[in-house]
């Protein structure tokens, strides 16, 4: 458990735990089985103000620090990673506007994002441009007072259900990443479509889609910041979102550990609960230790975000790398402790293992995290 610093954080976590126990945990397996966006939970989160955790109060939100977003996502992910992505995805889609947008944009979109009136997604990745953003093919050409956008985006979290996207597109292709700009795009615009909703290994209750932009018109005032600054906003956004993914990984791992402990206490073999056999108890001890280490690293990274510390890029990548690897290892070991039953869908272990894998992939693969970490330490 993160060492909560004050009564406000403790009260917030208590509220989250009550809500997760009553609203999320009972339907987590059903969400995975149906593979549909849980609109009923979106409404619950909306009423609790969770969709505004990344939005400062002056723009209609409930932002009291990046740590609160991490706490909320961690607690939800203990029961259901798909549901935690409602909060995480909303914060991710809003961040480029917060970082680079005008006061007018923040005042126009902040209250709607925070109140849950709109869902907003972050649209950077393309079929041929994942880690290599300079290979981006989506184009935005200015014509008069509008930009005409053509291209596609893939693997967009909540893309099939969102109302707006913060879209990254080339305005000056000859400049590489220096030619990328960011836009606020209404998904009701003519020429926008969802090409497909992906069938995924995990996080099945969070729809992931490929988005098409065919002569989509965006007003010039929907340009975020200045032309050519989009890559900067995207990287700054990922610095801020990686501790949230790390918190998600910690939550999933903690949920898997609890399920393994409960199973280990109940499952009797050779005359006693299997949790009392040294081989199993040591596995549990190692899992608990690794989770504590991951959580400490995660919340230190979140603190650096709140402090705007220059080390935030480095530690955010460290947290995401380590916590996601821990989540995958813990989920696999929890399933192993449950043995054959762990492999069955009647228990949460196989779902947790499937969900854990994505934390090693999105917001930058763990291989990219190692590149970021190496670059940062070599520049110091």
Which DSSP category does 226 fall into? Answer: S
pLDDT of residue 142: 97
Full set of structural domains in the chain with CATH: 7-114 (1.10.540.10), 120-230 (2.40.110.10), 232-379 (1.20.140.10)
The model's confidence at residue 100, banded by pLDDT at 50, 70 and 90, is very high
| CA–CA gap between residue 28 and residue 20 (Å, rounded) | 10
pLDDT of residue 357: 98
Catalytic status, residue 363: yes
pLDDT of residue 65: 87
The model's confidence at residue 3, banded by pLDDT at 50, 70 and 90, is low
The model's confidence at residue 133, banded by pLDDT at 50, 70 and 90, is confident
SS (H, E, C) 325-348: HHHHHHHHHHHHHHHHHHCCCCCC
Q: For tokens 């925070």, name the residue.
A: 114
List, for residues 175-209, the tens digit of each pLDDT value.
999 999 999 999 999 999 999 999 999 999 999 99
Whether the per-residue pLDDT at 4 is higher than 80: the answer is no
List, for residues 202-234, the tens digit of each pLDDT value.
999 999 999 999 999 999 999 999 999 999 999
Between the alpha carbon of residue 99 and those of residues 92, 105, 122, 199, 356, the distances in Å are 11, 11, 13, 32, 29
Tokens for 248, please give them: 């998600």
Q: Of the ranges 4-13, 56-65, 151-160, which is most confident?
A: 151-160
Whether the per-residue pLDDT at 1 is higher than 70: the answer is no
What is the arithmetic mean of pLDDT over 80-103? Answer: 98
Among 11, 126, 363, 376, the active-site one is 363
pLDDT of residue 380: 81
Q: Look up the pTM and report it.
A: 0.96
Residues 6+ apart with CB under 8 A from 260: 284, 287, 333, 334, 337, 338, 349
3-state secondary structure of 380: coil
List, for residues 276-291, the tens digit of each pLDDT value.
999 999 999 999 999 9
């Amino acid at each position: 458990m993160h060492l909560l610093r004050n009564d406000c954080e403790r009260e917030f976590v208590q509220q989250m735990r009550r809500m997760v126990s009553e609203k999320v945990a009972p339907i987590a397996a059903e969400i995975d089985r149906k593979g549909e966006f849980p609109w009923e939970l979106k409404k619950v989160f909306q009423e609790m103000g969770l969709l505004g955790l990344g939005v400062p109060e002056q723009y209609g939100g409930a932002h009291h620090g990046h740590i609160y977003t991490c706490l909320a996502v961690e607690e939800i992910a203990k029961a259901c990673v798909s549901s935690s992505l409602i909060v995480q995805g909303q914060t991710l889609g809003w961040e480029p506007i917060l970082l680079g947008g005008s006061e007018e944009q923040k005042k126009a979109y902040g209250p709607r994002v925070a109140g849950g009136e709109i869902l907003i997604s972050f649209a950077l990745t393309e079929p041929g441009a994942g880690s290599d953003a300079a290979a981006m093919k989506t184009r935005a050409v200015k014509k008069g007072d509008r930009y005409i956008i053509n291209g596609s985006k893939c693997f967009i979290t909540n893309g099939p259900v969102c109302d707006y996207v913060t879209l990254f597109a080339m305005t000056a292709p000859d400049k590489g990443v220096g030619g990328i700009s960011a836009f606020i795009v209404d998904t009701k615009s003519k020429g926008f479509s969802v090409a497909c909703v992906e069938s995924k290994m995990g996080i099945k209750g969070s729809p992931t889609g490929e988005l098409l932009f065919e002569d989509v018109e965006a007003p010039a005032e929907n340009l975020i910041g200045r032309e050519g600054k989009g890559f900067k906003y995207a990287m700054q956004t990922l610095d801020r979102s990686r501790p949230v993914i790390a918190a998600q990984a910690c939550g999933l791992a903690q949920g898997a550990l609890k399920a393994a402990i409960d199973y280990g206490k109940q499952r009797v073999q050779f005359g006693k609960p299997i949790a009392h056999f040294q081989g199993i108890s040591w596995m549990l001890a190692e899992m608990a230790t690794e989770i504590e280490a991951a959580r400490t690293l995660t919340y230190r990274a979140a603190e650096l975000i709140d402090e705007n510390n220059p080390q935030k890029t480095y530690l955010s990548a460290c947290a995401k790398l380590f916590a996601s690897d821990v989540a995958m290892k813990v989920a696999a070991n929890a399933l192993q402790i449950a043995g054959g039953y762990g492999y069955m869908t009647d228990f949460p272990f196989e779902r947790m293992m499937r969900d854990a894998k994505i934390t090693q992939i999105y917001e930058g693969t763990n291989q990219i995290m190692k590149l970021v970490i190496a670059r940062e330490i070599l520049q110091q």
